[in-house]
Structure 1
Amino acid sequence: MNKDKKPAAATPHMSSSHRAHAQLREQLLRSKFLPGQKINEVSLANELEISRTPLREALNRLVAEGLLLDRERGFSVPGLEPEVVFDLFQARVEIECATVRMACELAGPAELDALSAFLDESMSESPDASVDRLIELDIRFHDTIAELSGNKVLRQMLSNLNDRIHLVRWVAMEGRRERTQSQHREILDHIRAGDTAAAIAGMRGHILHRKEDILQAIKAAYGHVYTLSSA
């Protein structure tokens, strides 16, 4: 089973463009920038101590990943327009239902035992664990199922979707720890039993997908980032 999946950290051996990409990606996932905020390239180049060319390469890569928008006259952070967020969550639901179906067909006993051990570990996490830690554990569970599906393309697509909805997922996770963990266990039990229909239904019900719930999470996300910016 794969290790915890965290934002890629910059290393001394990276090119300046790759280092800028890693640093900016982590800042975007940590909500350093506000939804809709325009990127100041001069300020960023000074902050990251790189020239404009490698910075522009990093920004264009983030555009390709959906984490930034190219506004022709500059770059900006995507907003949280409900119709866009709805589409992202709908795509996540369909991908995860596909990966759990394939995992039911392909996952072996040893792999499922390892996932079960991980769930035991996550259940024993401190009650005071941060939301960031809970998100980390949640992503690891879903990424492992995607890995067990054997489809690298679906796994990569899921990873990108998780990046693009990270803030909304972060807010939605608050107060859902016990429910989330119990649902993870139920999904695993269905996979182990080979009950594909129940595993898919469990996954669909587990992921935030009702429009009213997503809209509520979007509103809370805006409140969260603007509270941080004024702190």
Structure 2
Amino acid sequence: MATAQDSKRIRPTPSTSQRAYSQLREQLLRFKFLPNQKINEVLLASDLEISRTPLREALNRLAAEGLLIDRGRGFSVPGLEPAVIFDLFEARQEIECAIVRLACTRAEDAELDSLSDFLEASMAESPDASVDRLMELDIGFHDAIAQMARNAVLRQTLTNLNDRVHLVRWIAMEGRRDRTQAQHLEILGHLRARDETAAMAAMRNHILHRNEDIMAAIKSAYGHVYTRDTS
């Protein structure tokens, strides 16, 4: 006779799948898996202490978002193929330009004041702040503008693109704090002036877009994850 515990494992609640999704997404963004690594579902289910059904639901969701690749008979972590990364950054650039254009006309003055306060607090962060913290602040800045654009689809698309290039962005962020902050202030100034053309130009320049810079970040990203894994 099935016990209550067995029933829970046979009929997993949505919260179980959601928990697995959230944990795996965080691990993927924290580089716990190597590029092109195959996912061992048996070990992963054991580590997460869940059954294969909610795990498979979480894996399918992550694959739909581009954070995993469905190989038909299993899942793997995406690689860092230059052509794919270039496309993702190009898409991010176009999405961010559309967002800042809309924000120029839709943002409320109070929201721009709040963004100014956010940037002031960001610049007051310790010089020893980790790259993870700098990434958190950078994402917060861009997400605030996305909220001002009043377009949920664009905002969700941006979130997904950021997730998919997280490792390369993380690498590229190193040593760019002063430049990033100066560019954020410039973008904010154009938003306050409601100057769509200038805001889009500043945003386009702000986002990593030169092929040689992206390629250098990809090479550094590979070095980072493999050194970290074997150290």
Q: Which residue of 2 aligns with 1:43?
A: 43
Within 5 Å, give how 1:127-206 maps onto structure 2.
Answer: 127-206=127-206
Q: How much is the aligned-residue C-alpha RMSD, in angstroms?
A: 1.0
Distance 2:17 2:166 in 1: 23
Runs of 4+ in 1 over 3 A off after TM superposition: none
Between the two proteins, the alignment pairs up a number of residues equal to: 219
Task: Give the whole-Å Cα distance in 1 for the aligned partners of 2:216 and 2:98.
Answer: 27
Deviations 1:81-124 (A, max 9, x none): 00000010000000000000001111121111110000000000
SS of equivalent to 2:115: helix
Q: Which residue of 2 aligns with 1:220?
A: 220
Letter in 1 for 2:178: E
Residue 127 of structure 2 aligns to a residue whose secondary structure is: coil
Amino acid at match of 2:205: G
What is the correspondence of 1:46-125 to structure 2 with a 5 Å cutoff?
Answer: 46-125=46-125
Q: Corresponding residue for 1:21?
A: 21
Which has the larger Rg?
A: 2
Unaligned segments of structure 2, at least 5 residues: 1-12
Residue matched to 1:8: none
Query: Is the counterpart of residue 209 in structure 1 residue 212 in structure 2?
Result: no
CA shift digits 1:35-62 (9 cap, x unpaired): 0000000110110111111111110010
Shift of 1:14: 6.7
Counterpart residue type for residue 197 of structure 1: T
Quote the Cα distance in structure 2 between the aligned partners of 1:50 and 1:111: 42
TM-score normalised per structure 2: 0.93
Letter in 2 for 1:188: L
Find the residue that maps to 1:15 and give its secondary structure: helix
**Distance in structure 2 (CA, Å) of the matches to 1:213 and 1:95:** 20
Distance 1:150 1:104 in 2: 11
Which secondary structure state, in structure 2, belongs to the residue aligned with residue 22 of structure 1?
helix
Give the partner amino acid of 1:116: S
